[in-house]
């Protein structure tokens, strides 16, 4: 059986694609002179009429401009920004868009009417488990869990508050206080609580860090909500546990 051998000339001299995928462009200028072995079709540049030379240059320039526009694309248009207005400088500030929706605030406000949650907040007089920053983190977690507003129940409030204390408090006492209030001395319900907590964190994509700035933005949505008055710094020094959650970046 005959074996096909590619032509050596076509393999050596065929144009090879560049790294960008385009074949290299061959540019011919009028001031270049071919080598001794290359024949010249027009030995005298004076034999061309000025009109022919000008026509060729114009055609080349037009083709190059079209090719450059095709490869590079159109130039970006200028964007005008107001620098000043009647001599007063206008300063623009980049503002972060909060991921917390109004529905998450409404869910939180609805759960505050739950009698068990009300009793819990009244029981935590020293705000060791439920100060305003930890409660703001509950709303942040609601926004990240991705549940429908009607799906949130009392247990989700305590799970989110447990996570907030786990993230911001160095002591295990606040988390034990949540169990003590919910289940007393019984430990039978704790495995189920931790199972639900794991599922809740997983639904958040393990994003449990909440910055102090985000907590303050959450509180500013409805600054007159009564739970935002739960400020540890306003308590007597002997009743404080700490000054609030640590600021995170």
Residues in contact with 88: Cβ distance below 8 Å, sequence separation at least 6, in sequence order: none
pLDDT digits (tens, 9 = 90+) for 116-166: 999 999 999 999 999 999 999 999 999 999 899 999 999 999 999 999 999
Measured over all CA atoms, what is the biggest interatomic distance in the chain, rounded to whole angstroms? 109
Residues in contact with 171: Cβ distance below 8 Å, sequence separation at least 6, in sequence order: 241
pLDDT digits (tens, 9 = 90+) for 70-114: 444 444 445 555 555 555 555 555 555 567 899 999 999 999 999
Q: Give the CA angle between residues 192, 195, 200 to the nearest 5°.
A: 125
> Of the given ranges (35-49, 169-183, 191-205), which has the lowest mean pLDDT?
35-49
Best CA proximity match to 50, nearest among 62, 60, 58, 41: 58
Gap between the Cα atoms of 143 and 149, Å rounded: 10
Distances in Å between the Cα of 191 and the Cα atoms of 69, 156, 186, 198, 202 are 66, 15, 11, 11, 17
Structural contact between residues 103 and 203, judged by C-beta atoms closer than 8 angstroms: no
pLDDT digits (tens, 9 = 90+) for 13-42: 444 544 444 444 444 444 544 444 444 555
What architecture does CATH give domain 102-239? Answer: Orthogonal Bundle (1.10)
Distances in Å between the Cα of 116 and the Cα atoms of 137, 157, 219 are 19, 11, 23
> Higher model confidence: residue 206 or residue 26?
206
Most confident by average pLDDT, 29-33, 215-219, 241-245:
215-219
Domains of the chain, residue spans: 102-239
Gap between the Cα atoms of 74 and 103, Å rounded: 44
Residue 9 above 80 pLDDT? no
């Amino acid at each position: 059986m005959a074996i096909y051998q590619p032509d050596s000339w076509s393999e050596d001299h065929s144009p090879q694609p560049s790294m960008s995928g385009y074949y290299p462009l061959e540019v011919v200028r009028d001031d270049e002179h071919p080598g001794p072995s290359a024949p010249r079709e027009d030995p005298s540049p004076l034999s061309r009429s000025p009109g022919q030379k000008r026509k060729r240059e114009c055609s080349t320039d037009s083709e190059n401009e079209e090719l450059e526009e095709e490869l590079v694309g159109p130039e970006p248009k200028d964007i005008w920004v107001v620098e000043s207005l009647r001599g007063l400088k206008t300063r623009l500030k980049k503002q972060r868009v909060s991921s917390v929706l109004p529905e998450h605030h409404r869910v939180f406000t609805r759960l505050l009417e739950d009698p068990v949650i009300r009793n819990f907040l009244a029981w935590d007089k020293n705000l060791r488990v439920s100060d305003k920053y930890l409660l703001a983190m509950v709303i942040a977690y609601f926004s990240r869990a991705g549940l429908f507003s009607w799906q949130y129940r009392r247990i989700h409030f305590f799970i989110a508050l447990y996570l907030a204390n786990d993230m911001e408090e160095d002591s295990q006492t606040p988390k034990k206080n949540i169990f003590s209030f919910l289940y007393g001395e019984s430990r039978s319900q704790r495995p189920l609580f931790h199972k639900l907590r794991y599922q809740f964190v997983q639904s958040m994509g393990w994003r449990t860090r909440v910055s102090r700035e985000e907590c303050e933005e959450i509180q500013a949505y409805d600054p007159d909500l009564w739970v935002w008055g739960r400020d540890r710094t306003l308590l007597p020094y002997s009743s404080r546990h700490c000054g609030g959650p640590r600021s995170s970046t």
